[in-house]
Structure formats: C-alpha cells, structure tokens
Structure 1
Amino acid sequence: MADSSGPSATPEDVAKAEEHKNKANEYFKDKKYVEAVEFYTRAIDLNPSVASYYGNRSIAHLRTEAFGYALQDASKTLELDKNYIKGYYRRASAYMAMGKFKLALKDYELVKKVRSKDKDAIQKYEECNKIVKWMAFQKAIAVDTTYTSVADSINLDTIDVEDSYSGPKLDDDISAGFMKNMLQWFKDQKKLHKKYCYKIMLEAKKLFEATQTLCDIKIPDSNKFTVCGDIHGQFYDLLNIFELNGVPSQDNPYLFNGDFVDRGSFSFEVILVLFGYKVLYPQHFYMARGNHESINMNQMYGFEGETKAKYSSHMFELFTEIFNWLPLAHCINEKVLVMHGGLFSRDDVKLDEIRKIDRFRQPSDEGLMCELLWSDPQPMNGRSPSKRGVGIHFGPDVTEQFCSLNKLEFIIRSHEVKDNGYEVSHNGKCITVFSAPNYCDQMGNKGAFITLTNDLKPKFTTYEAVPHPNVRPMQYANPLFGLGF
C-alpha cells in the first residue's frame, strides 16, 4: 500500500500515473486482473492521493480473491475522499467476500441514504439485509434444542418418481453402472430426480458423520493414489479428469481436496457425483472440506442460487448440514498431510490437536479450523497477514518446523490458482494442486492432479480446459457480486 504522506506529485508524475491507470483499466476490461493490480500500483506510487486509483485496485483485488487487500484499498479511498461513493461499494463488497455481512450492511445503508433513488444501491442494501437477517435466524436455531436436522425431515418413501422421468434410477444401493449413467445424464444437462439426489446425500451424510476430522489413509503397495484440488463447479473438467486418470474404483482411489462448489455453474452436478462415489467406495474415495463448503461462500458465489434454481432451498440446507461433517485433513501413510488451505499461526500444532477439532459448524475467522481452510504459503520465512483477510501467510521455515514436529515429509494443499495447475515450494515440502483449468473461463491456467504410490514421490499430470455448455461461471452468484467497474 502506497503512503500518501510524502511530497506532492509533480505534473510529470501526475501525467504518468494517469497513463498507468489507463493501462490498468485496459487490463481490467480484458480480465487480466493481476496485471491490472500492477499498473494501478504504479499509478499509486507516482500519485498516491487519488482515491479512484485505490478504488479501482480494490475491485481488481476482489477479482483475484485478495479480499484483505481489497478492504485496505477501499478504506484508503474513504480516507482520501469521504464522498467517494464507490469506495463504500468496494468496502462493502470486500466485507461481503470475507463474510462480514453486518459491516457490509452499514456501508450499503450509507450508499442507499446518499443515493435514495438508485435501484442498484437499494438492491444491494436489501440483498445484504436479507443475509444478515437469515444469519440471525440461523444463530437462533443453533441454540434451540428443539431444532431437528434437515436430514431427519426427509422421508424418501413419500417422494414419488413420476412416470415421465426417464433418467437413472436408484432403487437399491449405488452401483458403478448407476454412476456411469448419472455421469452421462449430467453431461447431457439433465436433472436427476430429487428422490435419488436425496438418497445419495443422506447416505453420504452417514459416512461423513462416522469419519474423523483428520483421516488416515494407507496407500497399498500395488495402487496409485490420486489427489485433486479445487474443482469449483467445473463439471466437464471433472469428467476430463476421469477420462485421463480413470473413474474412481477400489483399485483407483481418489482424494478431492475441497472447493467442489461455487463459481462454476455446474456445482450441483460436481458435488452429487463426488458424493455418489463416496457412497460407492467409502474406503477408497475421500473428500476434504474447503473454504467454499460454507454458508457464507455458497450464498455469495453461486452454489446456494444454483441449488435453489435446480431443486429447492430445502436441498441446499441439507448440503450445508453435510458440509459441516466433511473432514478437515487427511494424512497419507503417516508422512503426507493434505488440507485445503494451509498451516497455522502457532508453531506447536500437532496432528492430535487437529484430530480433536470440533468441525461440525460453520468456520470462524480465526483458529485452527479457519487456518486449515484459508491459509496460503509465502516465499519468505515467517508469517504475515493474509491477502484474503482470513487465515495467514506462512513461510518455508514454518512448513519445515511443522513437518519436523509431526514427522511428515511434506504437505499438499490447494486453494490457489496456479498457471501450471500445481506448484512445488518451500524446498519441496509444500505442494499446491489446483484442478480447475481456465478458472472461471478467464484465468487461462492449466489444471493438475497428483498421483502418489507407496514411495510417496508425487507425479503431476496437467491438462487444459475442455469445452462446456454455454452457461457462464457465476451464473447463479449473488447479485451483490454483479460489480461494475
């Protein structure tokens, strides 16, 4: 962040800053947000007193999911110019992305007062207010001992399957044949009957309830084991993984490391297929919770809207309940720890402490559970505040100490887009894998997955995005993220 307390910009600096700003605007419009941030920063370095530069960089940070940086920039615009209304918009959007809905509501309320006839301002205020009220209701029922689970309210025997339904049917246990038919059915953009959706979900819930917070996995000598990172609703890229690496089976086990849903507009198909394979192969198919398996993220980034559009709010509530039971980490052959986000703000965290985390809840914005889901590695030693505004950045020394303390060889995590779909950092002790190629149809990155055998030497397979039906990413996202420039 530039410091505005220095000497005034010269006329030459002012002119050059405008050039950088215009170049940044071009990058932004081309959806090249990293480059846009770079050129807004150049403009700020030359002329740090212009509120709009920070406002523009704020929204570019939002696009790259650097919510903490976006919040800093939005706040800076208002330090410079309290009448810069876009600054309140930007700050509210950053608060929303970080799940701080009450703070966002205050900013939207101010905008609505200033622009009392602005339909967009009114819509954003009302939408945010709805979420705040909904959260208050959820908090109330959480302490209501008479509240029963969503799963208990479902009676499959009372759900009829219409004669007109011609898709895959699930009258008995899930089979490999049923999964094959469901994959094709979804590929053809058809809906599975809600009765079978509920049946898969309820069976998956039972399995996750019986699963530990930290699961131990043993790779048999004769098998490979595949670890996939974020899928983010990119169903057709998930199908491509199965084409390249084989469908899950007892001889072809998988671990999907969180962020199955949101952003991509085929999240429902992705999560139901993964749940189906979990039910079919409970000892050979694993799923870990990501930061997007949470209410706040699902409300903003599309999974709630998609599930309601394709089925019902009741089904979304059941997904929320199941997500609370997802494991937070997996340990392979006692030597490799796999989690979605990363490591911790403390040096003394042992695996047994992870095992004892009470995971059946929505993640908070601090503590071990939060850091497992949100943290990211950094190249320099030590720790620093996260660009996301949640979790931490941790350096090579932190990874080295954690691995040494817990007798681990390395960690695998996901959570971040990488140009090649993966990245090996921290002297080989921290591996990032990201399995959603051309993320959100705009990042141009490859996807990747990791295969391990008993010797635990990772093999990386990379791939390009495949075509998908003409449904844009974020199709079902909250209108609060319909952010203009």
Structure 2
Amino acid sequence: HGCSCCSLQNQSFFQAAILIQKWYRFTMARLEMRRRYSLSIFQSIEYADEQDQLQLSNFFTFMLDHCTHPDSGKDKNKSNVEILFEKPDVRKIDVPDSYYGPRLSFPLTAEDANALLHAFRNEQLLHARYVLQLLSETRRVLKEMPNITHLSTSYSKEITVCGDLHGNLDDLLLIFYKNGLPSEQNRYVFNGDFVDRGKNSMEILIILFAFLLIYPNDLHLNRGNHEDYIMNLRYGFTKEVSKKYKDHWKQILCLLRDVFSWLPLATIIDSKVLILHGGISDTTDLDFLNALERNKVRDRTDHTAVKTQHNPPSGSAEPSGSNSPPDPALEEWKQILDILWSDPRSQNGCTPNKCRGGGCYFGPDVTAKLFARYNLKMLIRSHEFKPEGYEISHDGKVITIFSASNYYEEGSNRGAYIKLNPELTPRFVQYQVSKFTRRKNLRERVGTIESAALKSLREKIYAHRSELTSAFAQYDTNGTGRISVNDWAEAMESVLQLELPWRMLRPQLVQMNPDGEVDFMSCFYDLKMGQPTKEAQPALAETLCRYRKDLEIIFNIIDKDHSGLISFEEFSQTWRLFTSHLGIEVEDDSIDKLVLSIDYNKDGHIDFNEFLEAFHVVHRLEKKPGSSQCC
C-alpha cells in the first residue's frame, strides 16, 4: 500500500531472493567443478592406459606368436596366433531346432535387419553360423570399397554422422529410434570405435554389418583405433566374444580381424567434408592413404606402434625433412597411426601425442594447411570423449562427435550425432540413454561420477606407491612426513603424469595438518589389496596391481581351453618374460611363493581371475581419524 512497513517487507523479500540466487549459483558452480574434474580424472587415466597398451603391444604379439600349448593331433606345435586365427568352415556348424533367434538367409533384406534389432532388444544371441556367414559377406563387400569413400548429399536430403559407440547398444538403438533406420533416403556414416568397453560390441557390429550388406551405398563405416585385435584383447571385446560364443569364438575373431583390416580409412562428403576417426598430422597425405593396401597394414600395428614412440613422423616424432630414406611399410603405418590416434589442440603446430602414446596433437595451422591442399571445408572426427557429445574447434573447421552416452559412468555425458544438409551446415542432435539417471537429482548424479573417478585414481596412486613415496621424500628433507601442498602436487604429477588439478583434488586424496602442510602418507591410509597374502612383498604386490590388466590379457592368451586355470609353470615362465621385457626387478622366489600360496586347489594350477582379484585395490571400510571423505 506504499506504507513504510510494506516497503521494508518488500526489501527483505528482495534481499532473500538475492541470497537464494547467490547460494544456487554457488552450489551449481561447485557441482559443475566436481563434475569437470571427475571427467578429467577418467579421461587422463584412460589415455594413460592407452599409452601403456601401445608400449606393450609388441610383447603381446610376441606372446601370441610364440606361446604354444600341448595339444593333441596336428595342432600340437601351432602357435597361439595360428590357433586363434584358423579359417572358419560354416558348413560344419549346425543350427539346432532349439535355437529361436533370427535365421538369416543371404542376400539379406530389411526384414532380416529388423529381426536382428528385435532379437538384440530382447537380449538374444545370433547363432555362430549366421555370425560367420555375415562376417564373410561383410568382408567380401568391404574388399570392393576404396580406402577413402566419396559421398554426395545430392542423393539424399541429409547424411547422418555418428561417432564412437564402444559397445553401447542402447545408444545405437536410440539413434535409430530418433533418426530412423538406414535406407537409401536416410544415409549414415559411422566413424569407428564400434567395439570395446561396452558389453554389446558384437551386437553393434552385427547390426551395422547387416545394414551395410543391405545398403552398401548408403551406410558407411570408417575404421577406428579400437578396430584392432590387440586393442580388443585389453579393452574387453575379445572377452565378450569368447563368453558369448564359447565354441566358435576363435573362428569369429579370425574373421573379424580380417574384416577390421578392410574397413575404409576415411569418408569425404561433397569433396568438402573429411570424416576420419582420430585426426591429422602435418604429414597426412590423403592421396598416399588412398593408394596403400589397407588390409596389409593390420599386421604391423602391433609391431610398429612402439617404434613410432621413438621415431614417429613429424607430429608423431620424426622431424620433417629427414635425410634418412623412409621405410615404405613403416610410412604406411605412420600415416594410419596419425589418422586413427591424433587429437586437435588450440595451439599451432604438430607435436607428439604423449597422453595417448600415439598420433599427434594438431593445431589450427595444420588443419588450414590440409584444407588448402585438398580444398576442404570441414573435418569431422571422433575418438575423444566430450561431455556434451560434441565439440567445435579450430574456428569451426574441426568437429568432434562422440555417440556413446554414459561413457565413464551413468550420467557422465550425453551422446550426439551430426546431420549434414546439402549446404554442409552441421546440425547436432544430443541424447542420453537414461535407465537410472532420472531417479537421481543432480547432486546424486555428480556424486556417483565423482566417487567412481576417485576410486580409479586411488587405484592408480596405490599402484605407484613406492615411486610416490620416494618423490615425497625428496621434498621432505627433515623426515617429518609432511610437505607443502605445492610440493605434494608436483610429486604427484611427476610420478603419475596425468595432468590433473592436484591442488583442487587434494582434499579428496590426502590430509593436512593445522600448519597447512600435507601428511603425504595419508593418501595410502584408506587403501589396501582385496585379499592380501603374507607372501606378497610390498614391491611385488604393487607391481601386480599396476600391471593387472596386462597380465589378464597374457593369461587369456595362455588359457587356450578357456578354463580360467593356468599351470604354475606357465605362470612362472610368463611372469619372468614379462618382468624382463619391462625391466622390472623382482626376486625370483617371491612370485613362486606367492603363486603357491594362491594354489587353492593344490593341484599345480591357479585360477588367474582369483589371483588378479587379490591385487585389486579396495578402500577400507574403517577410516583413520581425520581421513578425508569423498564429497
């Protein structure tokens, strides 16, 4: 009514609204900060893992080529790689009457593709006979395709480009639901990394290959860095195939290895838009890539990846203008390594991609140079996780598209795909598969992501305990057990090399005393091994924890009958080869004592899954007084 009482009341309401608004903005900013550093943790550990994979690829190849197993008959002296990649004969595989899944006949029709989609929605498996037939037909079609596919938007209104799917079948089904199934009027380009990490890589391949056979001119597949049998050993696809197809997994992997080698390397739309999986370097030559025999490069991926760390191309490491004559075979793989593994950066130039261990970081000037040479307008690539499913860089010239939602954890990110019209104007469609996310509020979703990220980081910290302790001691000259926050952050980065915001993460990882110094050993307080054994020396336990994933791959190679058991002798010999290859110094009898202690059946064999579980880092339920709690 204009009285002083009402005026004071309105002023109080206004001040309260401002306070609520400030609190809301502060809370949202804090949640966003936690979300971002959690995603940074996931991505840094992922790239470090990929770097380890490239460095150890030659050892895995050695294991595949030289490890033999006592077997009956003609297979007795075959190497693992020969046994693993024997040619399949589908005529010998019967489909029983009890099989109620799709029954395919070739050539495939749209009805067959729909039957597959329906079966996979209901978690059915396609019979191995049809899988092998499908893969054989896919290889035949891919062989006829060029290294670089050229498309035109004049034949359809739009072309849809999808990025990494990584075994997330729900994302593919959602894309088809929102955007329609592939057809002559609805064309697609899938830009690699169909497999690994997710649990339905096989189903994704079957669906994509089926549509490729039905619409070979309208659905196109580019190769990703995970379409590689060595990568599949580490990141889950090999294990998925062996579990789903227990009797025919070797034949399926044999054929898949060949199919992957025939996948095209890139796609160009309207001579203006280049689509490839990773990126480019300052030596990328599209004419050279279009002319090489792409299927023959596959067998050098594992042998050359390590060499390129010391002698890559400029951008991956060898300077331009080198006087040494190039090795044609090595040059082919360097070119492919760059387009499969590289990432864009805002800084000019082309530098080695040290985070991943392969390919390069390429700047806007490298993009501009390639565009000028080939008269291009846009580069669409995938390969990198993006929280919103896409990212635009290099002044709009480079687009990253990532189609696997919930990649690191439920609610961690959206997926996206691109719609390209005849004007080549990109339109982005975002989505997120939601099973449990909608039941949680924002704070709960961020807390779940943060908790999972910190768990992965703590495992990494424990696996480098000895190195970290030594690094901390260099700053703790008086032996107090305490160092400054800056020294602690520098020590963490010098050992782990994850490029993380350690000062921001400090409250989650380590305790501080009242003087503001870090009790550096407190970052190990809440961690222990899953099933510690008295025989495991600290250094040995740490080593086994650090290389657990690598050892799992090696054990799976040794375990020819897929029983989950390996002999004591096999393990000891392999362990000595592995430690010798990595230059790890472990006392010879320490591993023997440890293995004997875990020979639960006392029959000379160990269950290596149980063995590896013993060296899985877990958090203690009881916490020391004053230990930090996860937000």
TM-score normalized by structure 1?
0.70
CA deviation profile, 1:260-313 (whole Å, cap 9, x unmatched):
000001111111111111111111110010000012210000000100111112
Change (3 A) 1:237 1:466: farther
Q: Does 1:100 align with 2:34?
A: no
The one-letter code matched in structure 1 to 2:366 is: V
Q: Does 1:240 align with 2:147?
A: no
Change (3 A) 1:136 1:390: farther
The correspondence of residues 35-46 of structure 1 with structure 2, limited to 5 A, is 35=37
Q: 1:65 aligns with which of 43, 46, 49?
A: 46
**Distance (whole Å) between structure 2 residues aligned to residue 33 and residue 222 of structure 1:** 40
**Distance (whole Å) between structure 2 residues aligned to residue 421 and residue 37 of structure 1:** 13
**Distance (whole Å) between structure 2 residues aligned to residue 248 and residue 291 of structure 1:** 24
Q: Secondary structure at the match of 1:418?
A: coil
Q: 1:357 aligns with which of 289, 292, 309?
A: 292
Change (3 A) 1:342 1:282: same
Change (3 A) 1:295 1:136: farther
The correspondence of residues 180-195 of structure 1 with structure 2, limited to 5 A, is 180-195=114-129
- Paired position in structure 2 for 1:12: none
Change (3 A) 1:418 1:181: same
Residue 152 of structure 1 deviates from its aligned partner by 8.7
- Paired position in structure 2 for 1:388: 356
Q: Does 1:379 align with 2:346?
A: yes
Would you say the 8 A contact 1:291–1:373 is kept in 2?
Answer: yes
Would you say the 8 A contact 1:350–1:406 is kept in 2?
Answer: no
**Distance (whole Å) between structure 2 residues aligned to residue 411 and residue 331 of structure 1:** 9
**Distance (whole Å) between structure 2 residues aligned to residue 136 and residue 398 of structure 1:** 42
Q: 2:267 aligns with which of 312, 318, 330?
A: 330
- Paired position in structure 2 for 1:427: 395
Would you say the 8 A contact 1:411–1:430 is kept in 2?
Answer: yes
The CA RMSD measured in Å over matched residues stands at 3.0
Residue 440 of structure 1 deviates from its aligned partner by 3.6
Residue 97 of structure 1 deviates from its aligned partner by 2.3
Q: Secondary structure at the match of 1:134?
A: helix
CA deviation profile, 1:234-262 (whole Å, cap 9, x unmatched):
00111000001001111111110000000
Residue 63 of structure 1 deviates from its aligned partner by 5.6
**Distance (whole Å) between structure 2 residues aligned to residue 278 and residue 405 of structure 1:** 32
Would you say the 8 A contact 2:87–2:255 is kept in 1?
Answer: no
Q: Secondary structure at the match of 2:256?
A: helix
- Paired position in structure 2 for 1:484: 617
Q: 1:447 aligns with which of 415, 422, 426?
A: 415
Q: Secondary structure at the match of 1:327?
A: coil
**Distance (whole Å) between structure 1 residues aligned to residue 58 and residue 169 of structure 2:** 34
Would you say the 8 A contact 2:87–2:251 is kept in 1?
Answer: no
Change (3 A) 1:155 1:331: same
Residue 99 of structure 1 deviates from its aligned partner by 4.6
- Paired position in structure 1 for 2:97: 163
CA deviation profile, 1:166-204 (whole Å, cap 9, x unmatched):
111113321111111111111111111111111111110
The correspondence of residues 64-463 of structure 1 with structure 2, limited to 5 A, is 64-67=45-48, 96-101=52-57, 132-136=62-66, 153-220=87-154, 222-311=156-245, 312-346=249-283, 349-360=284-295, 361-362=297-298, 363=301, 364-365=304-305, 366=308, 367-386=334-353, 387-442=355-410, 444-463=412-431
The one-letter code matched in structure 2 to 1:371 is: D
Would you say the 8 A contact 2:86–2:254 is kept in 1?
Answer: no
The one-letter code matched in structure 2 to 1:463 is: Y
Residue 380 of structure 1 deviates from its aligned partner by 1.1
The one-letter code matched in structure 1 to 2:345 is: Q
Would you say the 8 A contact 2:104–2:112 is kept in 1?
Answer: yes
Change (3 A) 1:229 1:135: farther
Q: Secondary structure at the match of 2:400?
A: strand
The size of the alignment, in residue pairs, is 367
Q: Secondary structure at the match of 2:153?
A: coil
Asked which structure has the greater CA Rg, the reply is: 2
More helix by share: 2
**Distance (whole Å) between structure 1 residues aligned to residue 427 and residue 98 of structure 2:** 47
CA deviation profile, 1:129-157 (whole Å, cap 9, x unmatched):
xx64114579xxxxx9xx99999933333
**Distance (whole Å) between structure 2 residues aligned to residue 150 and residue 94 of structure 1:** 24
TM-score normalized by structure 2?
0.54
CA deviation profile, 1:387-444 (whole Å, cap 9, x unmatched):
2111000011111111111100011000001111011110111010000011043561
Would you say the 8 A contact 2:154–2:422 is kept in 1?
Answer: yes
Q: Which runs of 5+ in 2 are unaligned?
A: 1-29, 69-77, 309-333, 437-451, 453-548, 554-611, 619-631
**Distance (whole Å) between structure 2 residues aligned to residue 62 and residue 227 of structure 1:** 23
**Distance (whole Å) between structure 2 residues aligned to residue 388 and residue 336 of structure 1:** 26
The one-letter code matched in structure 1 to 2:290 is: R
Residue 33 of structure 1 deviates from its aligned partner by 9.2
**Distance (whole Å) between structure 2 residues aligned to residue 277 and residue 245 of structure 1:** 15
**Distance (whole Å) between structure 2 residues aligned to residue 203 and residue 350 of structure 1:** 31
Change (3 A) 1:37 1:322: closer
Change (3 A) 1:157 1:221: closer
My pick for the range that moved more, 417-426 or 437-446, is 437-446
- Paired position in structure 1 for 2:588: none
**Distance (whole Å) between structure 2 residues aligned to residue 221 and residue 330 of structure 1:** 16
Q: Secondary structure at the match of 1:370?
A: helix
The one-letter code matched in structure 1 to 2:368 is: E
Would you say the 8 A contact 2:225–2:341 is kept in 1?
Answer: yes
Would you say the 8 A contact 2:42–2:408 is kept in 1?
Answer: no
**Distance (whole Å) between structure 2 residues aligned to residue 245 and residue 207 of structure 1:** 25
Q: Secondary structure at the match of 1:254?
A: strand
Q: Secondary structure at the match of 1:455?
A: coil
Would you say the 8 A contact 2:162–2:416 is kept in 1?
Answer: yes
**Distance (whole Å) between structure 2 residues aligned to residue 430 and residue 484 of structure 1:** 40
Would you say the 8 A contact 2:86–2:251 is kept in 1?
Answer: no
The one-letter code matched in structure 2 to 1:133 is: M
Report % sequence identity.
35
**Distance (whole Å) between structure 1 residues aligned to residue 351 and residue 95 of structure 2:** 54
Would you say the 8 A contact 1:33–1:61 is kept in 2?
Answer: no
Q: Secondary structure at the match of 1:98?
A: helix
